[in-house]
Structures are given as C-alpha cells and as structure tokens.
Structure 1
Amino acid sequence: MSTLNYGIAVFPSKEIQDIANSYRKRYDPRYNKIPPHITLKERFEATPDEIKDITSELDRIAAETNPFDIEIKKVSSFSPVTNTVYLKVEPNDTLTSLNQKMNEGKFPVSQQFAFVPHITISQDLSEDEHSDVYGSMRMLEFDLQDHIDRFQLLYQLEDGSWTVYETFKLGRN
C-alpha cells in the first residue's frame, strides 16, 4: 500500500499571507510550493487506511477546540539551527495544545524540534544572506491579529507542492 506525505497547518488570513508573501517571494525558494502557514504537525507518511483513522481523529480534535486568536508582533530566526527567518506567532495555549494532540495517539511522531508557532518568510539562505535578511527585518514591528477557526490536513504532490486534503472547522461541540 503506497504512502503519501501529509502535514497539518493553519492558513492565516489573506492580509497576513500577503505580508508574508511580500518577503517570501524574495527570500523563500519554496514560496510556490505552499501558501504562508503555521505548521501544527510536521510532514509525516501515512497509508490511505492510516489517513482514515487520522482524519476521524482530526475531526474530533477540531470539534473539541474553540476558534482562537493569534498575534504577530515581530520577526525571529531559528539560527544557528537553521537559517530560517519567520513571523513569530506569540505564545498561544491553543496552538500548543493542537500540536501536542497531533503528536500522540494515532498520529505518527514526526516532530524534530520543539514546537514554535511561526510563519516562515525566508529559508535555505546562505549564512551571509540570512544575516543580512534577519539583520534588516528584526528591527521591524508588526501588529497583526487573526481569528483562527479551522486547520487543514495537507498532502504533498509529486512536484513537492502541498495541497489541501481536508479542512476541519473548529468548535462544533
């Protein structure tokens, strides 16, 4: 039985996506593979049967989770681990809880790093490029808020791009 790569993410509002894309176009070589997003669960492999169990579990998690708000105030970086610059989503109990629930039970464990809610705006840059981009952007201040009422299960296509498999609306209980 063949497996596909899946991931789980939140897509923020068009306004926040437009702001992120204004940087991603220049600094993210994977810009055209997926829209700006907050990763809830990193890439994992699953068979069609496993994904049936996972989607029913995601449906339950979504029903038990109320919609919530996020805030973005600044840019940060994962350096020295990776040369990634991102819009930092302020600490949020609901995002943390969703991430935890999606890495236990029926879910395959795929989390390499501690969960840090963020929207990537640059990645795969050289040390010098990263230093320049982060140096100029970390002085910027943002005052972005968004209301999150859904998350998406995504799968990866052969060309490396990601597309929505299913959308889960929050707070139906």
Structure 2
Amino acid sequence: MTIEIADPWRDLLQQARRACCDPLADRIPPHLTLLAPASIPQGRLEVMSDHLESLARTSRPFSITLHGIASFLPLASVVYVPVVDGGRTCTALASAIRNGPIPVIQRYPFHPHITIAQQADPAALERVCRSLMDFEATITVDRMLLSVSSDAPSNPDASWRPVGEFHFAGHESSLVRMQRGREQPDASRHRSVHGPRLRWGRR
C-alpha cells in the first residue's frame, strides 16, 4: 500500500536512484510506503479493498513536505528522503490500514520516507547524498494505491501489480478498480542523529 509521487518530483527522485547504481531504480517508482509487503489470506483481498475504500471516503487530501537526505544505518543500508511535515497524517493513515478487518503486523515501526537507494554503489551514493542535501518538495496527497504480488513478501525482487487506486473524499471516485496489466498512475556539515537514523541537511 503506497502513496505514489507525482512529477516533477517522481522523475527527479528516480534519476537520483539511478545515479546510485541501484538495480531497483527502474523497477520501483518513487513512493511512500503505508503498508510494507505482507501476506493477505487468499480470498480476503476484497475485504481489504472495502476497508481501504471506507478509509478513503473519510480521508481528506493533505500535504507532505520532503527535505534533505537520511539513512537507516546501521540497522539497514537504506538511504531515503524524509517527510518533515505531514508525517503524523501519514502515520495515522498507516495505522488505520494495519488495524482494519485484517490486522497486519509489520517488522519495523512506521517511518514515512521515500527510499532513494537500497543496493547502491558506495561512491555513487555519497555523490547523490550530497546532491540531495538541499532537496525540498511539498506534495499534495489525494489517493493511495494498492498493489499485489504473487511473490513472497520477503522477496526484494518481487514484481508488483496495482489493483486499486483509492481517492480521498472530494475527488472523482473513492475507488478505481484497475485492470490486469495497467500501469501505475500517474553529507553536509550539519548531521543530526535520531535513534538509529542518520540525517543530513542544512535546515
């Protein structure tokens, strides 16, 4: 379950991931994960879709602001752009998804972010981190996307297929069913440590 990032930020962040020589750059578009890959019992996808539709009807569009660059090191070799404003709304939405009619236990605490690299060349990663230190963007969030895969949730190379786009109240329809095969819609001098996360930025 994700929030997709629209252009021009989508293209910019995807280019940054390519510049890191991350092999997943062209397979995974920039997004904010609301629900990490999880197994849903067979035949229960419709129940989850109904829950998401209900959430969409009672949710309003909101904004998130992205700024700087950060890392989950040493727990995980993931570099990302953090959400510095609007994170509480993302957290509330993620919690409502997890605690619906099909409770889902996640491996890690929810932390809103946009992944830039997971399997990256160290030298390229350093250059990209420096180029994104001053990155900032404010994005309107008015929908969420449900994708499914026949691969195991733990498979990092899993292929995902979008099956439902849920528009928040005030937009055309609360749910758009997708047909099979359809594409998804459209280090600085200052460093601060937050628990295991290391963040770079001048703000």
TM-score normalised over the length of structure 2: 0.72
Secondary structure of the corresponding residue to residue 99 of structure 2 = coil
Q: 2:148 aligns with which of 144, 155, 160?
A: 155
Contact 2:16 2:128 in 1 (8 A): no
Q: 1:79, 1:21 → 2: CA distance?
A: 21
Q: As a proportion of its length, which structure holds more helix? A: 1
Which aligned runs of 4 or more in structure 1 are off by greater than 3 angstroms? none
2:17 matches 1:45:
no
**Percent of aligned positions with the same letter in both sequences?**
27
What is the SS of the residue equivalent to 2:90? helix
In 1: Cα distance, 2:126 partner to 2:95 partner? 29
SS in 1 for 2:34: strand
**2:29 is the counterpart of 1:31:** no
Q: Structure 2: where are the runs of 5+ without partners?
A: 152-156, 175-203
Structure 2 residue aligned with 1:120: 115
Residues 21 and 157 of structure 1, relative CA distance in 2, 3 Å threshold:
farther
Q: TM-score scaled to structure 1, two decimals?
A: 0.84
Counterpart of 1:99 in structure 2 is 94
Q: Which has the higher strand share?
A: 1
Matched with 2:163 is 165
| Aligned equivalent of 2:78 | 84
Q: Residue type matched to 2:141 in 1? A: I
Structure (1 or 2) with the larger CA radius of gyration: 2
Q: Unmatched 5+ residue regions in structure 1?
A: 1-7
Structure of greater relative contact order (alpha carbons < 8 Å, 6+ residues apart)? 1
The answer to whether the 8 A contact 1:42-1:110 is kept is no
Aligned alpha-carbon RMSD (Å): 2.2
